[in-house]
Chain A
Amino acid sequence: QVQLVQSGAEVKKPGASVKVSCNTYGYTFTGYYIHWVRQAPGQGLEWMGWINPNSGGTNYAQKFQGRVTMTRDTSNSTAYMELSRLRSDDTSVYYCAREVGSGSQNWFDPWGQGTLVTVSS
């Protein structure tokens, strides 16, 4: 079945970078966009952007432009999200999710299990 499996928890110091991976299984990796969504402790969901695994094209939320880079490796069906210049308020669980649907009717299914990134000195 379709699965997204993310890399393990990370602890980083302020100013450092973190790179989270999202390994995909059970479908054609290049056929579906991958999105990244984060959730701060006790807070709601925040969309960060997407990558088109076929072309490598990206679209980042304005809040993260200049700090986030989304890439992919089609040889192992894996998407990556790198966030730089980390601050304490970047402490969150980061999720990848596959976009499904067509045209203007799309949704996220499934989601990865999440990766906790803790930023602390």
Chain B
Amino acid sequence: QSVLTQPPSASGTPGQRVTISCSGSSSNIGSNTVNWYQQLPRTAPKLLIYNNNQRPSGVPDRFSGSKSGTSASLAISGLQSEDEADYYCAAWDDSLNGWVFGGGTKLTVL
């Protein structure tokens, strides 16, 4: 059971906009920034969004992040087939004194 809660799956058709939620608590998302990682099939995770809503260089602006209270969201607009991957949210947890992840959301492009 993951500390951060994500839906196990999401889907959309090419060109659509999809959002993935990440729910936590006051000890993690409520008091620290949220990062998102993209894991393409059979590869290592890659940083997608950091500090709630910042994109590393090279990440398309189709990807955006937001945070409110103890929840965060990842939005992907103009969905493309290459976006098919697993997406994980992560945050530092002050009570556990460690990093916690969401269980991951498998995005399918129909």
Contacts and interface: CB of A to CB of B under 8 A. Distances in A.
Interface of A: 35, 37, 44-47, 49, 59, 61-62, 95, 97, 101, 104-114
A109 B47 contact: yes
A111 B44 CA distance: 7
Given A49-B98, A95-B44, A105-B51, A44 B92 contact: no
Contacts of B35: 107-108
Contacts of A97: 45
26 contacts: A35-B99, A37-B101, A44-B2, A44-B88, A44-B103, A45-B45, A45-B101, A46-B101, A59-B98, A61-B96, A61-B98, A62-B96, A95-B44, A97-B45, A101-B50, A105-B51, A107-B35, A107-B47, A108-B37, A108-B47, A109-B50, A109-B56, A110-B46, A111-B44, A111-B45, A113-B44
Contacts, number: 61
B32 interface: yes
A47 B101 contact: yes
A44 B51 contact: no
Interface residues of B, number: 24
Given A61-B98, A110-B47, 19 more contacts: A37-B101, A44-B88, A44-B103, A46-B101, A47-B98, A47-B99, A47-B101, A62-B96, A62-B98, A101-B51, A104-B32, A104-B92, A106-B92, A107-B35, A107-B90, A108-B47, A109-B47, A109-B50, A113-B44
Main secondary structure of the interface of B (DSSP, over half): strand
A44 B104 contact: yes
